[in-house]
Structure 1
Amino acid sequence: MSKGGFRRSGLEWFSSLPACLLLLAVVVFSTSSDIHNQMLRGGEQLWSGYYKLRMDPVPPTCDPDRDIDAAVARELAESPDADDPMAALLGAEEKDPADVRLAIERSVADCQEAHRSYVNLKDQLTPGVKAYRAVELFVADLIAFGLESQRYILVILVMLCAVTATLTRHHIAMRAMETRLDYTVSLTLQTVANAMLLGSSVIFRQSSLGAETTVSAEELLLHNFWITGFACLTLASLYRLFRVPNGLQDGGSLNRAFLAVPLYTVMCLISGTYFALIGHSSGIGIYLGKMMELADMFLNVGLYVWVGMMLKQTRLATLVFNVFRPWRMPPELLAVVAVLVAAIPTAYTGASGIFVIAAGAVIYSELRAAGARRQLALAATAMSGSLGVVLRPCLLVVVIAYLNREVTTDELFGWGIWVFVLTASLFSLVAVTVNRQSQFDLAPSSVAFPAMIQALKPLIPYVLVIAAVVLFYRFALDVKMDEFSAPRLLPVIMLAVLLYEHVSLKKRRGKTSGELNHQGLERSLRGATNDTTAEIGALLLLLGLSVSIGGVIERSHIMQSFPQAFDSAWSAMALMVVILVILGMIMDAFGAVILVTATVASIAYSSGIHPVHFWMVTLVAFELGYLSPPVALNHLLTRQVVGEAEILAAQQEGGSFYQRHERIIMPLITMGIALLLVSFVPLMFYA
């Protein structure tokens, strides 16, 4: 899980530049759709009936000068004779000359109108229209290409970043590799898992080609991309296995070595072994292929991580914390403020784990700089993304509403506000009352308030830059900032912020006390993308294998062993809570939502649990699962971003049992109480 040996130099662009271009391509393709909509509207305003001018008019083939009398005569001549007994037998009737003339006159009139329309459209095709049309059609083709290439971009991004994470030893595991035994065990099992992924993909490709249905060229290309990617990943792990880094300790135990195996490897070995035993060796490849059905969602995850890493390169977090420093808050209260403030960006990043990866390092470093003890700072960092997942415009809630017609985003976000108030109140209560180690001696308002106002001034340019981007999209492209547009707006906003800092801090050379010494736009973007590449590789591969674990649970019919309906909503809820927390421990949010939708949700509905209530419980239960040992994914992600040294230093701190394990216990108390209240209190009113 630790980063291995990539030094910051221009050479790292060989890894991160392609990832940067792919992420930019996603933003460009999605934004081009908004541009195209505006171009169509603009074309219609400039030239009435522009939609007819988008293609060259085709001249009509009919004759506008057709002789009506001659045509009537020919039509009547071809009419059957009324005295003909055979015609009478077949039911043919003699045509009425008046009806024939009327039909031909209408046909000639329509033909003449078609010719007039053709001439009119041809006259309207001015050079200006043709130039505008050429640009508009190019944008339309760009959109079509972007939609078709989404799946390929995702596969290339996942494989590129997974190889990078393997070479830099940045995969997510229960503990870091410290000894040579840890390294050997971890890389050996990674190689086995990668070879298993490669083999499953090859078998899936062969079975698809051998099926009765034809495989399209696009699907075949997608198969080849997966196979090539997993081949490269296998070679990367083999290279790392035989290229042992310096600095590893001798010795070690086998039990601890297994904890250094990445989570994706464990999931792959479990699911791959299961599918092989049931004679379904292509199972992993099939379930990884299901990622393509939600390619836009997984690409949004990559964009959110990129946004967080760009945020880490800016001064924004420091400036926001500067606003609260004049009050001389005790560390516990500052941790509450940090978690509450983090709820808003969490809502825009879609899931707590994504936010921890994206901004956890910033929150931890700022809390430590403000005097927070390590255990408290680690607890706040792990929980920083847990409160905002129920707020608009969280991507996870949008996915729930998309997969479940029983609920809407308005219903979920409406009740999510109350869940946020509850969890925020509980966290505040636990932080400032349980094991409080600091005196609440706030600065006088007469001193703190003016200093706070002064600290707000440096934030004004950032607010203006962000507002400028949002207003540009709103009025120029008619795009509002919401759960659907956030993934493509936020990268543009952060790029604009980096550009502003590049211009402003370059003039001042970053010499003002307390300012970040900004190293320029290119270095900041490169640093952000370097971190993004490794994090995306670790996270998206974990997400993909989590979907495969969901497939194991689904195909093993474990859920069918439970009753499909309960007589009591209370007993059903008790079982739901246990199942949902366990799923949160072993699966990522998006994969777990897909699995719950297919299995558990129907049991809850049929047992009398309201759908909105069920999904609120699901979100809180997942967050408790992400914070609960033995896996505690959010804590693993926290260690991923703050570094193993800080975790070891926190574990060496003394004090009571609670003080020594505060980073684990505090989140469990908060989310555990919240889950009990959210699960069972509403049942008193409708069950």
Structure 2
Amino acid sequence: MTLTLFIAAIVLMALGFPVAFALAMSAALAVFVGGRYPQLVVFKEMFTGIDSFPLMAVPFFILAAELMSGGALTAVLLRFAAQFVGHLRGGLGYANVLSLTLFSGISGSALADAAGPGSMMVKMMDKAGYSRAYAAALTSSTAIVGPIIPPSISMIIYAMQDEQVSVGGLFIAGFVPGLLIALAMAFVNWRVCKKRDYRSTEPRPSAREMLVNSVKAIPALMLIVLILVGIRFGIFTPTEASVVAVFYALACGKWVYRTLEWKALPDIISRSALLTASVLLVMATSAAFAWVLTVEGVPQQLSQTIVSWNLSPVAFLIAVNLLLLVFGIFMEPLPGVMILVPILAPIASALGIDPTHFAMVVIVNLTLGMITPPVGGLLFVTAVSTRVSMAALTRELPPFLVAHFVVLALLTFVPAISTWLPHTLGF
């Protein structure tokens, strides 16, 4: 069954099947070839994989992000970010990084960040004389901060697979790595803009304009504060926090910014439902795929094999990084978390690796796969939304990938980057 499972999944994805369909079809084929279980078990495991109360946070966080976007949040954050750096050399590039980082604290989705504020920034950079392909590469490379800075859908799913970590703890742990990635992208932007002489034509705003823009941005920025403070002090659970976020976003869009119209709600809800369905479908099929691996004893065999190598914690982390980098080229982060975490997390714990540290290494590593050719789902979304060819976009990626790998190395070998803040706050 195991051989059939992997061969079928690889062939189907190579043929261009969506990941969810490839996982479901390979699981069904493996069960059919094995002959020990009825085909119905695949559908049972798909349902079991999404039959979870914590998963209710996913559609609500997605809906909150859509409501904030529909309520002019994107424009508010863009003005807020651009006023600090827009007048500098490469200023719109810095504004791109800053605005996407701020928006990450609301959306939790790299795809939403790239398709929303990211595409708007690419248009602005193109008009200012930047290479459109460079602007698109900067956008896709920065957008992966979305699943790392809370609220993050990947973190919610990870906490479901490893009981040693909590959603709140992972949310807090994502701050420093997310900010490091943003700083790394800003550094690459500085180097490229200096080399290509991308000068800013934006005038420096007056003190009064900066004050007005900052005050307008406060309600939007308070959403992430509300979520984290509420979770930290036990006011509500992460699932309840997602519902609070929806009502807060609705109130901001309708009564604070006064740009959200009631007639826009059906479209916002339908987009949220479509995105939620795609996320849950991937999770459901990943659960069926993981079940086949479990009944075949693959996790146990792999664990015993790795333990028998007597690897040190550092050697194990290096091996895991190499595995995840290869795995992430062909697989999206969510199925990666669903399939690999139940296998790798217990081994990491047995070696004495901090569960929060290991979780952040896995999440950041798998998220990098979204901008790693040839699959890179985030690259396709960015290319389509910005109308840049994949070839041109890929040519601009190398300096950004190098910066990401440097941050990943720091995260791997300096555990305090991901553990200091959650431990200090009592998680």
TM tier, shorter chain?
0.7 to 0.9
Whether contact under 8 Å (2:54, 2:239) holds in the other structure is no
In 1, Cα distance between the equivalents of 2:117 and 2:57? Answer: 21
Identity in percent: 17
Post-superposition offset of 1:567: 2.0
Q: Among 266, 271, 278, which residue is 1:531 paired with? A: 271
In 2, Cα distance between the equivalents of 1:462 and 1:677? Answer: 32
1:310 aligns with 2:67: yes
Whether contact under 8 Å (1:466, 1:497) holds in the other structure is no
In 2, Cα distance between the equivalents of 1:677 and 1:440? Answer: 30
Q: Among 359, 367, 378, which residue is 1:623 paired with? A: 367
1:285 aligns with 2:35: no
Post-superposition offset of 1:488: 0.9
Q: Among 378, 389, 393, which residue is 2:136 paired with? A: 378
In 1, Cα distance between the equivalents of 2:368 and 2:114? Answer: 20
Give the partner amino acid of 1:661.
R
2:353 alignment partner, SS class: coil
Q: Which blocks of at least 5 consecutive residues in structure 2 are unaligned?
A: 1-11, 417-427
In 1, Cα distance between the equivalents of 2:362 and 2:13? Answer: 32
In 2, Cα distance between the equivalents of 1:607 and 1:492? Answer: 43
The aligned residue for residue 268 of structure 1 is 24
Q: Among 351, 366, 378, which residue is 2:121 paired with? A: 366
The aligned residue for residue 170 of structure 1 is none
Q: Among 648, 658, 678, which residue is 2:411 paired with? A: 678
In 2, Cα distance between the equivalents of 1:331 and 1:289? Answer: 52
1:111-150 counterparts in 2 under 5 A? none
Question: Which is bigger in relative contact order (C-alpha 8 A, separation at least 6)?
Answer: 2
Whether contact under 8 Å (2:27, 2:288) holds in the other structure is yes
Whether contact under 8 Å (1:310, 1:528) holds in the other structure is yes
Change in 2 beyond 3 A, CA 1:380/1:556: farther
Give the partner amino acid of 1:380.
L
Which has the larger share of helix?
2
1:45-76 CA distance string (max 9 Å, x none): xxxxxxxxxxxxxxxxxxxxxxxxxxxxxxxx
Larger Rg: 1
Change in 2 beyond 3 A, CA 1:544/1:665: farther
1:599 alignment partner, SS class: helix
Give the partner amino acid of 2:21.
T
Whether contact under 8 Å (2:254, 2:261) holds in the other structure is yes
In 2, Cα distance between the equivalents of 1:325 and 1:340? Answer: 8
Report the number of matched residues: 391
Whether contact under 8 Å (1:546, 1:588) holds in the other structure is no
1:572 aligns with 2:312: no
Post-superposition offset of 1:288: 1.0
Q: Among 477, 497, 506, which residue is 2:252 paired with? A: 497
In 1, Cα distance between the equivalents of 2:319 and 2:89? Answer: 38
Give the partner amino acid of 2:310.
D
The aligned residue for residue 669 of structure 1 is 402
Change in 2 beyond 3 A, CA 1:262/1:456: farther
In 1, Cα distance between the equivalents of 2:94 and 2:220? Answer: 28
Whether contact under 8 Å (1:378, 1:638) holds in the other structure is yes
Post-superposition offset of 1:392: 4.8
In 1, Cα distance between the equivalents of 2:205 and 2:19? Answer: 48
Whether contact under 8 Å (2:77, 2:99) holds in the other structure is no
1:331-362 CA distance string (max 9 Å, x none): 85433443344334434544xxx342366323
In 1, Cα distance between the equivalents of 2:119 and 2:30? Answer: 40
Post-superposition offset of 1:407: 4.2
In 1, Cα distance between the equivalents of 2:250 and 2:298? Answer: 47
2:374 alignment partner, SS class: coil
Whether contact under 8 Å (1:331, 1:373) holds in the other structure is no
Q: Among 164, 172, 177, which residue is 1:419 paired with? A: 177
Whether contact under 8 Å (1:332, 1:431) holds in the other structure is yes
In 2, Cα distance between the equivalents of 1:294 and 1:464? Answer: 32
In 1, Cα distance between the equivalents of 2:41 and 2:400? Answer: 36
Change in 2 beyond 3 A, CA 1:634/1:667: farther
1:107-133 CA distance string (max 9 Å, x none): xxxxxxxxxxxxxxxxxxxxxxxxxxx
1:432 aligns with 2:190: yes
The aligned residue for residue 29 of structure 1 is none
Post-superposition offset of 1:682: 5.1
Q: Which blocks of at least 5 consecutive residues in structure 1 are unaligned?
A: 1-254, 505-517, 654-658
Change in 2 beyond 3 A, CA 1:490/1:406: closer
Runs in 1 of length 4+ with deviation above 6 angstroms? 465-468
Post-superposition offset of 1:615: 1.9
Post-superposition offset of 1:596: 3.4
Give the partner amino acid of 2:209.
Q
In 1, Cα distance between the equivalents of 2:360 and 2:220? Answer: 35
Once the two structures are overlaid, the 10-residue window that deviates more, 617-626 or 330-339, is 330-339
1:560-639 counterparts in 2 under 5 A? 560-561=301-302, 563-565=305-307, 566-569=309-312, 570-638=314-382
2:51 alignment partner, SS class: helix
In 2, Cα distance between the equivalents of 1:336 and 1:558? Answer: 46
Whether contact under 8 Å (2:110, 2:144) holds in the other structure is no
Change in 2 beyond 3 A, CA 1:631/1:489: same
1:566-589 CA distance string (max 9 Å, x none): 423233222211233344445554
Post-superposition offset of 1:385: 4.0
1:356-380 CA distance string (max 9 Å, x none): 2366323212332243533233333
The aligned residue for residue 93 of structure 2 is 335
Change in 2 beyond 3 A, CA 1:414/1:464: closer
Change in 2 beyond 3 A, CA 1:378/1:483: farther
Post-superposition offset of 1:675: 1.8
1:465-487 CA distance string (max 9 Å, x none): 9879x99xx99xx9858845431
Change in 2 beyond 3 A, CA 1:603/1:585: same
The aligned residue for residue 78 of structure 2 is 321
In 1, Cα distance between the equivalents of 2:33 and 2:289? Answer: 15
1:178-197 counterparts in 2 under 5 A? none
1:164-210 CA distance string (max 9 Å, x none): xxxxxxxxxxxxxxxxxxxxxxxxxxxxxxxxxxxxxxxxxxxxxxx
In 1, Cα distance between the equivalents of 2:287 and 2:208? Answer: 48
In 2, Cα distance between the equivalents of 1:490 and 1:358? Answer: 18
In 1, Cα distance between the equivalents of 2:182 and 2:251? Answer: 32
Post-superposition offset of 1:285: 0.7
1:448 alignment partner, SS class: coil
In 1, Cα distance between the equivalents of 2:330 and 2:13? Answer: 19
In 2, Cα distance between the equivalents of 1:670 and 1:612? Answer: 23
Q: Could you say what the CA RMSD is over the residues aligned between the two structures, in angstroms? A: 4.0
**TM-score when normalising by structure 2:** 0.74
